Structure 1
Amino acid sequence: MDNIQQIAARYRSQVEEAQQELNRVQQRIYRIGTLRVVLFVACVAGLIYFWDESWSVLCAIAVVTMLPFLLLIKRHNRLFARKDYLEKKVEVNQQELAALDYDTSAFDGGNEYTDPTHLYTFDLDVFGQRSLFQYINRTCTQPGKVRLASWLNKHLENREEIVRRQEAVRELAAEPVFRQRFRILGLLYKGKKADENELRAWAESPSIFRKRRVLRLLPALVTGVNALCLLAVVFGLLSGTVWGVVWMAFVVGSFAFTGKVTKIQSVYGKKLQILGTYANLLKLMDKQDVQAPLLKSIKEEIGGEQRKASQSIRQLSKLMNELDQRNNMFMYAVLNGCFFWELRQIMRIEAWKEQHAAELPRWLNAIGEMDALCSLGTFAYNHPGYVYPAFTDKPFCFRGTALGHPLMHRDRCVRNDIDIAKRPFFIIITGANMAGKSTYLRTIGINYLLACIGAPVFARELQLYPARLVTSLRTSDSLNDNESYFFAELKRLKLIIDKLQAGEELFIILDEILKGTNSMDKQKGSLALIRQFMTLQANGIIATHDLLLGTLADAYPDDIRNFCFEADIKDNELSFSYRLRPGVAQNMNACFLMKKMGIAMTE
């Protein structure tokens, strides 16, 4: 297995190689651009110089200069596409290098998913700036981003489903070339937030033109009439003027459909540009050989070997691009007058929709699933020291060694253990301010969440039973709802009790119960709450400053265990080990710190 230094070296190598090729491509673009200018000038100069010569000479000059010119345009466009790809490749690898050093500012933090009322995401900083989502997120499509956010918002609770996703993540972690190419292709045109919904809406909308049989026959009729007129003119049976009048009548008649076609094109034309990107991603997925059952099922969703989604979507993208020719007024008049081309083209698009509309949402889901899995695969690849947890069917279990917080620097993170092997069981953690209680709770919560979405965790080893995670670490008041801090906390605790009474299996993490009331109320209420948790066969961790809660271990010797984070005072200096220790905390630091800061302590 590679270490961090080897992974960083690989990213740097990718940057250097891509930059070198980019320099070569830019030089070719410059040379071809210069040659095109030379050919164009030569064509103009040759035509001017030989203007008095025969038409055959002028045509020869035009062919000799303009044919290479047109071929070079095609080559130029390909080079520009390659240039865009290489620039994005340099950017992507530079972002990964920064991410290895915990700079994830280049990635989307999913601020729109921040929800203070969520069961755990707000407490654990799952969304927002410097969040877990921003740390993991490498999605390159809107469906992928939505899928990854939904996994974090509602983690899996079924052991088999988690293991299936783990297998897919393991396989993708070992495919850095595929993952990176997938991300680059997706980022070349990432699209907008509304694209997926609007594509689905378009796929579900009824056909406007093909539902009328007369309109389906009209383009063939116009084409046939024009063909007959042409033959009649050739054989002298009809004058060209009459055919011109007929042709112009067709052009004018085509205006009857222009308004509706323009509306469809304006609403969906730009949205469907994303289909070119999706076609490239689907083609890449088609070519990738996969072994994990989940990855195989995704490939089945996009057609497998029988009917490839990439070909179908590329066909639609081509039809939409061809429709754009109507924006050229000359082409618009010629094509509509001869073939009713605009109507024919929009009905070809409707025919595609009738054939594939039911499959399009499935293809979008497959792209989103692969995109989100690639994010987890990159996360696993970038963290070679992480492990995939094992899962047990026995409720409840959460046993791990050397757990650390993924957002804390790997070289400075103090790692601790956890051991919950039965139901009911609670760990009560006491300790001084700043000693590490809250960080430990978030470390436990984040690793539990990572495990339940199929990702590796920051631990030496971990085994768990996947129950629903619920936290109360950062309850806030709400001025808009006229809700006090204390009442908000009570609502969260009531929600937990209701879920337990309904038979739901929960893993509960609480920080300082009932901190919005006086100490006597807080003590009495906290003791009653924990006793109720025991009655309801619950599992979890509670951090508190109230040392009296430590006495509950005497009443429940098999079901409650005390641990603490101590503040060590030596030679009139305060230090923290951030190490979890058995027992109830003995040292508190508030008075010590107040004295150190010159705040008088009176008896």
Structure 2
Amino acid sequence: MTDSTAISGTNVGNGDDALDRYRTQLQQIEAARSLLKIRDRKFGTARVVLFLLAIVFLFLGTHFGGMPSAWPIGWIALAGFLTTVILNEPVRDQLESLRRERSVVRRLIARIERDWQRLATATLSRQLSEIELPTAQHDVATDLDLLGKASLFHLVSMTATTPGIRTLASWLTGPAIAAEAIPRTRAIETLAPLREERIRFYMLSRKVAESSGDPDRFASWAGGERWLESRRWLSIWANVSAILAGVFFVGVLASVLGISAAGNPKLHLAGLIGLGFINLLMTSIMLGPAHSIFSIAMASRSAVADYAELFDAAHELPVDDANGEMSKLGQIRDTLLTGERSAAEGMRSLQKVASAGSLRQSAATFLVYLPLQAFALWDVRVLHRLEQWQQQYGDVVSNWFEALGQFESLVSLAALRDEYPQWTFPQWKTTSDGGGTLAAVSIGHPLLNDTDRVTNDVSVGPSGTLLLVTGSNMSGKSTMLRSIGLNVALAATGAPVCASEFALPSMELATSIRVSDNLSEGVSFYMAELHRLKQVVDHARRLAQQDDRVLLFLLDEILQGTNSRERQIAVVQVLRHLINLQSIGAISTHDLELADEPDLHSMAHTVHFRETITKGDDGHDTMTFDYKMREGVSPTTNALRLLEMVGL
């Protein structure tokens, strides 16, 4: 990697152009749905009328001999009904496709409008809550709103499948490493202009998420033990059973045809019935695990087909990067499409097995399945083919879903790039060219609405120093800390950040912003803060042993749970630990005595936010904030004034 890698933008922009485009697209979808609904209602009316006509005229033709024309009219009406059903299906398929497209576009609109209620669906919230993170990552995610409701995940995510959701969440909460982020950035740049392709992919991923089984269970089954392998006698009995059934059936058929050498027909019939009874009894008692495997390996025939189609979507990805090396997208494409053990090939192979296994799942084919199971143990044969598939592909299935998760995450982040073309991609620095400093121009809080966002220039570092953010209550100190952390998380994914310039080294985040006591465990607020700070310092100690990254700590109003003088001493002690470990970071406080600590002056660059108080025409004070960061210690406080303004 070179010392400095940048793909930069200009000024921090908004998503108005994309919002207009999405709203126009939504109007077109609604118009198309309205027309299709009219056609669907007409088909529905025709189906009811033709079905009733068929019933009436077939009844008349059967029971009233004086109406010879009723019978053919009834059959014509029935044929018309079946034809109408067939012609109606494409209309309903189009309606379902438009419903899914409308859902995608509505989510794209909600992201730009920061409509958190619409974005935080119950299903997605449940999936996010099930993601397990190490304690430090979980605390950072909570402090910076990376995953929960009204979070960075909801802003950037268009993922729908479990692998996609998990991958994007891990990128957002993981370290910001240049070697990982830069290839993702190049992939995002490639995908950003492909608007129609992205929409189709979002629709398909939602279709897969709605129809398929759990990918984790599928991957676990594929790489696990083969149930039938230790019960080979079942396969042997399935073959013997088919032979016996053939012998008994031929005997019964020969007797029906009057062939004298056929033997005792009752004996053949009894054998056939007895064989069917034994096999169906075995199905009910012994093959429960096999049916569970079917539900995992091929939840339905359509689910396998949907995954095959989703993997095939990688055909539009480029193979190689411009410099001739395999790109991130090329690697994903290689895993999903190339070779005999690619994801696409594996799913096509599994489709053939799913076709055989789906006989028992459909009412239309159950009458075919029943004799096959009764006389030839069809389920055992399907399971044998499944385990042959498992043997061939089992060890690479997890790689397929990992590649799919990366693909879906990159396609999601590409929408952010397309919607905010003036957000910048980060410039990654190494320690040899000032890499110990995070520097941003016009950085903003990405979760705020475009009209509400105020941007500032900020610099954190170099190693061994900190940024001290002072100011009164509600002036913007915590927002600044979160703006830094959220944009570092965006940089980690390879996405553009909410700034006009953003340079940083590879880093990991540690935070203490939202700390709460735990009365059930007897942990006071002050002790909870200490535990969190100990965790931050331990993190810094671990990274001090590595020269490829630094720790960025973000501490908001720490150690409030003790008296003022002891707090000042304790805070300085904690910060000295972090500075000595060559970490960089920012700490906020409204305690002006803390800001005046001589020991803190020697290691801190101090900035502040302020408020303005004006007297209105009614004689009451009005407090306003401009959220602009200025040099030096805050000259104002507002705690008592706020107390007065609320009537206390």
TM-score norm. by structure 2 comes to 0.82
Label 1:585 to 1:299 Cα distance change in 2 as closer, same or farther (>3 A): same
User: After superposition, what is the alpha-carbon deviation per residue over 1:475-512, rounded to whole angstroms, capped at 9, x for unaligned?
Assistant: 11111221111111112222222233332531111112
**Rounded Cα–Cα distance in structure 1 between residues aligned with 2:438 and 2:234:** 66
Match of 1:517 among 547, 562, 574: 562
| 2:98 alignment counterpart | 86
1:495 aligns to what?
A: 535
Quick one: which of 410, 422, 446 aligns to 1:385? Answer: 422
Aligned to 2:638: 589
1:410: Cα distance to partner? Answer: 1.0
The 8 Å contact of residues 553 and 561 in structure 1, kept in 2 or not, is answered as no
Contact 1:155 1:453 in 2 (8 A): no
Tell whether 2:228 aligns with 1:203: no
Of 324, 329, 336 in structure 2, the residue corresponding to residue 302 of structure 1 is 336
What secondary structure, in the 3-state scheme, does the structure 2 residue paired with 1:127 have?
Answer: coil
Q: Does 1:528 align with 2:573?
A: yes
Q: Which moved more, 1:290-299 or 1:124-133?
A: 290-299
Is residue 444–residue 456 contact of structure 2 (8 Å, CA) maintained in 1? Answer: yes
* Residue aligned with 1:106, SS: helix
Q: Does 1:360 align with 2:397?
A: yes
Amino acid at match of 2:184: R
Using the alignment, how far apart are the partners of 2:528 and 2:262 within structure 1? 87
Q: How far apart are 1:132 and its partner, in Å? A: 1.8
Match of 1:123 among 125, 143, 147: 143
- Pairwise CA distance, 1:329: 6.6
**Residue aligned with 1:457, SS:** coil
Q: Which residue of 2 aligns with 1:253?
A: 278
Could you tell me which amino acid in structure 1 is paired with residue 537 of structure 2? I
TM-score, structure 1 normalization:
0.87
Letter of the 1:479 partner, please give it: L
Is the CA contact (8 Å cut-off) linking 1:279 and 1:313 kept in structure 2? no
Q: Offset of 1:414 from its aligned partner? A: 1.2
1:323-380 per-residue CA deviation (whole Å, 9 max, x = no partner) reads: 3259977444432345433332333333333333223222222222222222222233
Partner-residue secondary structure (3-state), 2:521: coil
AA paired with 1:378? A
Q: Distance in 2 between matches of 1:598 and 1:284?
A: 62
Matching residue within 75, 86, 103 for 2:115? 103
Q: Which blocks of at least 5 consecutive residues in structure 1 are unaligned?
A: none
Change (3 A) 1:36 1:289: farther
* Aligned partner (choices 246, 262, 270) of residue 238 of structure 1: 262
**Rounded Cα–Cα distance in structure 2 between residues aligned with 1:387 and 1:551:** 36
Which residue of 518, 539, 564 maps to 2:608? 564
Q: Give the corresponding residue for 1:340.
A: 377
Counterpart CA distance in 1 for 2:474 and 2:373 is 76
Shift of 1:295: 1.7
Shift of 1:218: 4.1
8 Å Cα contact 1:508/1:539 also seen in 2: yes
Amino acid at match of 1:254: N
Q: Which structure 2 residues correspond to residues 15-414 of structure 1 after superposition, within 5 A?
A: 15-37=26-48, 40-41=51-52, 43-44=54-55, 47-48=58-59, 70=82, 72-107=84-119, 108-109=124-125, 110-112=128-130, 118-157=138-177, 159-188=178-207, 190-191=209-210, 195-227=214-246, 233=254, 236=259, 237-238=261-262, 243-259=268-284, 260-265=286-291, 268-269=294-295, 272-273=299-300, 274-289=303-318, 293-304=327-338, 306=340, 307=342, 308=344, 309-325=346-362, 330-394=367-431, 395-414=435-454
CA distance in 1, matches of 2:446, 2:47: 54
Q: Secondary structure at the match of 1:510?
A: strand
Separation (CA, whole Å) in 1 of partners of 2:537 and 2:62:
94
User: Counterparts of 2:381 and 2:455 in 1: how far apart (Å)?
Assistant: 67
1:484 pairs, out of 499, 503, 524, with 524
Structure 2: any 5+ residue segments left out of the alignment?
1-8, 322-326, 616-620
Structure 1 letter corresponding to 2:334: E
Report the counterpart of residue 7 of structure 1 in structure 2. 18
Higher mean alpha-carbon deviation, 537-546 vs 269-278, is at: 269-278
The answer (yes or no) to whether the contact 1:552–1:560 under 8 Å persists in 2 is no
The change in CA–CA distance for 1:249 and 1:25 in structure 2 (over 3 A counts) is farther
Q: Which has the higher contact order (CA 8 A, sep 6+)?
A: 2
Once the two structures are TM-superposed, the CA of residue 48 in structure 1 deviates from its matched residue by: 4.8
Paired residues in the alignment total 594
Work out whether residues 95 and 104 of structure 1, in 8 Å CA contact, stay in contact via their aligned partners in 2.
Answer: no
Per the TM alignment, residue 565 of structure 1 is displaced from its structure 2 partner at its CA by: 0.9
Structure 1 residue 428: Cα displacement: 1.0
> Is the Cα contact below 8 Å between 1:210 and 1:216 reproduced in 2?
no
